[in-house]
Structure 1
Amino acid sequence: MPTTVLFLMSTMFIANIGFGIILPTLPFLSRQVGASTFELGLALSAFAIAQLLFSSFWGGMSDRVGKRPILILGIVGYGVTSALVGLSPNVVVLLLLRFLSGALCSAVMPASLSLAANATTPEMRPRVMAYMGSVNGIGFIVGPPLGAVLSVFGLQVPFVSVGILSIVNGIVALWLLPKESPRPVGDEQTKLSFRGFLQIKHNLRAFFDRSLTPFLGGTFAFTLADATVTSTLAFFLTDTLHSTQAMAGWAFMVNGGVGALIQVAMFSAMYQRWGEKATIVTGFSFGALGYLTLGLSTSVVWVFVAITLLAFCRGFAFPAMTSAISLRTTVHSQGSSFGSQMTFNSLGRTIGPLIAGWLFAYQERFPYFFACGLLVATVLFIRVGLKGKLSARAEQA
């Protein structure tokens, strides 16, 4: 595998492990600076909202000025702002830095994915995208326990550690990542992708591009459904099944770990044997079954069965959709397309907890039945949207 791809995998790993390291310590730091429960919620959501606003912007900028400088700016900026979060003197500064951290971190994934796509052949790309996705799950597994250990030495230590790690990664990127030729400024698609932070025109055009619609819609459905678990599972285990909050941590680790293992060990063979349509449909089918099992669970054992089924959805569907987007996008538009995918990803993570919270307040099992229905509808949508054998490939230019 190219050295560039291995380094990009490490960069995405650092961004995700950084998020995981900070997550368990942030509530205690927020309390230390006098944040209310509502302000703690804002500190958590500010990161996701910033990613929603800026993902497409950075994707378009990476096509305009080059992926390498945008990636370096993103990872170094993320490191600086993460370290400063740990030194926040009050709530206002904390919220502002969390927003800036999310905005800069949102540059990392589109630039990393597009650089990886440009460094690989179409035949290698599905396997590479699976590996890139697997490091996200691994980072999510390693981050929280590492953050808990580091916080023993002080609440500021996890934040400063993430900052140092990210800044060093950016410095290494200066000499390790190859320089590239940016797209000409006068190019019409580049001009379109540069206008505005929300990139509404570009994202709508990408969504209604029939070659990309199933994958962007599938990304939104996947993250919206996934948000029902991340936002309610702890309460479901403790309030409904009378288990412990620690069990929720184990459930998330199992989900991320099994998902990463599937992407590394099974995804490539599945994709090459059955193609992207069957891989995506199989993944979402596992997901629908997993959410149904979760909604019907009467014990912790069944929750872990459901979580394992959901890991198959994560391991098959998401990397297949990412690979499909890459293969249907020209070299000079990779950043914009991945930026659009991350925007739909962030949109699902932003509104998903709101829907899940409302449904959970009405009946604690409804969020999972809703997610099951959503993925069943997505399977039908993809089967209709991807008629015939999927052999379309974007002309690499």
Structure 2
Amino acid sequence: MNKKMMGPMAILFIIQFLVMVGFGIVVPILPFLVSKLGGGAFALGVFMSAYSIMQFIFAPVWGKLSDGIGRRPVILLGLFGYGVTFLMFGMVNNLYVLIILRALAGIVSSATLPTAMAYLADITEGADRSKGMGMIGAAMGMGMIFGPALGGFLGKYSFSLPFFVAGGLALLLLPFTWIFLPESLKEMNKGQGRKRARLTPQVLKDPLFFLFAFNFTLNFTMSMFESTFALLASAKVGFGPTDMGITFAILGIFAVIVQGGLIGKLAKTFGDAKLVNTGALLCALGLLSIIITADAKNIIFLVSATVIFMVGNSLMVPTSSSLVSKQSNQGQGMSLGLFQSFASLGRILGPLTGGALFGLNMGFPYVAGAALLVLVVLVAGPKISVNIPRPLVQD
């Protein structure tokens, strides 16, 4: 990756880090905040799903817009909206307004990730693109390490303080983004996103649908894991909040190592498609290992099983994104927006399905997730390695 790319890469890295800090910062204080405002379990569920529902709807819209007017203005708009909504969070003292703001935050934050990935696709190619996607994934992993920690620390003083800090940091980053992030989409390529828009049944015929299916499955199984693992670990090995915090910190560290340090070399050696399929199988192995080690009540092996799952996840995220950008023939921003919408759909349905299955049997979410991952490898795996329809980086 040449020096010219490093400045924009640094800006994109910080933006995605802040977005995931904002996503994770509410995790340790959310139940207490909702309870303080008079809400119960249903209100908490609505609050959690509102963010992903809005991302599901609006990620393709932002991606299409970035194909039409350029990446830079969409990223700036998303960053500004992110900062403002989080500052407003800190001022809210009404549950219904809080839910509306959470939905609004989902709308504006969905402008950043697909557009950042499209920006990377504009300025990179080959293994550099997978490495760049991995760095973005590493930034998100770091955000999910620091976000909950920051929220828990600041939330001891005030429920509003974490939101003010996250929003303030985003707005402080805005002038640096304005100055140091040039437009990446060449004038000749603008307007591609106007050709096709949309999250409709027609997406089933999209040549990239099999990659969208991978992304849905990845996020569906990940959210089932996230929504049930604390309950499983508590029941089987007596984990408490501190143990969970340590476990998720370990997972975040491995995500950063794989996506930030290894993915470029691995993609160059094995290719993106092989890493996507291998990652899915490792995720399946990790889920099954979690059940086995939890029943055996072995804490070290249980944490090791979650690491296997996270390594597989970290192999899939940047390489599948890279494949979408390489194989898109309808505007990379829109394709990556659709890609992120399928991720959001997985995050909407995963917790609901995981909770229902967990109520029947603690192991069902993990067995079902492993089976679904193996199925997607068998059905979609052979379809994702296809010829790139056109060169994406033009001199």
TM-score by length of 2: 0.92
Partner of 2:168: 164
Equivalent positions of 1:360-375 (< 5 A) are: 360-375=358-373
Distance 1:53 1:383, change over 3 A: closer
Decide which of 205, 210, 218 is 1:214's aligned counterpart: 210
Partner of 1:385: 383
Counterparts of 1:114 and 1:379, CA distance in 2: 25
Q: Secondary structure at the match of 2:216?
A: helix
Counterparts of 2:164 and 2:87, CA distance in 1: 4
Deviations 1:292-315 (A, max 9, x none): 111222222232121110121122
Counterparts of 2:136 and 2:192, CA distance in 1: 30
Distance 1:317 1:186, change over 3 A: closer
Decide which of 4, 9, 21 is 1:5's aligned counterpart: 9
Counterparts of 1:342 and 1:395, CA distance in 2: 23
Deviations 1:240-288 (A, max 9, x none): 3333233222222222221221122322222111112221121111111
Counterparts of 2:97 and 2:181, CA distance in 1: 34
Deviation at 1:182, TM superposition (A): 7.5
Deviations 1:316-347 (A, max 9, x none): 112111111111125x7111011011000000
Distance 1:191 1:268, change over 3 A: closer
Deviation at 1:71, TM superposition (A): 0.9
Identity of aligned residues (%): 28
Counterparts of 1:310 and 1:114, CA distance in 2: 27
* 2:276 is the alignment partner of 1:277: no
Q: How many residues align?
A: 386
Q: Secondary structure at the match of 2:25?
A: helix
C-alpha contact (below 8 Å) 2:20/2:143 kept by paired residues: yes
C-alpha contact (below 8 Å) 1:63/1:183 kept by paired residues: no
* 2:119 is the alignment partner of 1:115: yes
AA matched with 2:73: P
C-alpha contact (below 8 Å) 1:64/1:183 kept by paired residues: no
Distance 1:45 1:383, change over 3 A: closer
Q: CA RMSD in A?
A: 2.1
Distance 1:186 1:137, change over 3 A: closer
Equivalent positions of 1:1-397 (< 5 A) are: 1=1, 2=5, 3-179=7-183, 189-193=193-197, 199-201=198-200, 204-210=201-207, 212-297=208-293, 298=295, 299=297, 300-329=299-328, 333-386=331-384, 392=388, 394-396=390-392
Deviation at 1:207, TM superposition (A): 4.5
Deviations 1:94-150 (A, max 9, x none): 111111011111111011111122122334111111111111111101111112112
C-alpha contact (below 8 Å) 1:130/1:263 kept by paired residues: yes
Counterparts of 2:11 and 2:190, CA distance in 1: 31
Deviation at 1:61, TM superposition (A): 1.3
AA matched with 2:378: L
User: Gaps (5+ residues) in structure 2?
Assistant: none
Deviates more, 1:114-123 or 1:133-142: 114-123
Counterparts of 1:246 and 1:186, CA distance in 2: 49
Distance 1:118 1:358, change over 3 A: same
Deviation at 1:51, TM superposition (A): 1.0
Deviation at 1:186, TM superposition (A): 10
Counterparts of 1:72 and 1:386, CA distance in 2: 32
User: Gaps (5+ residues) in structure 1?
Assistant: 194-198
Deviations 1:75-104 (A, max 9, x none): 111111111112112111111111101111
Q: Secondary structure at the match of 1:35?
A: coil
C-alpha contact (below 8 Å) 1:59/1:107 kept by paired residues: yes
AA matched with 2:105: S
Deviation at 1:350, TM superposition (A): 0.3
C-alpha contact (below 8 Å) 1:326/1:334 kept by paired residues: yes
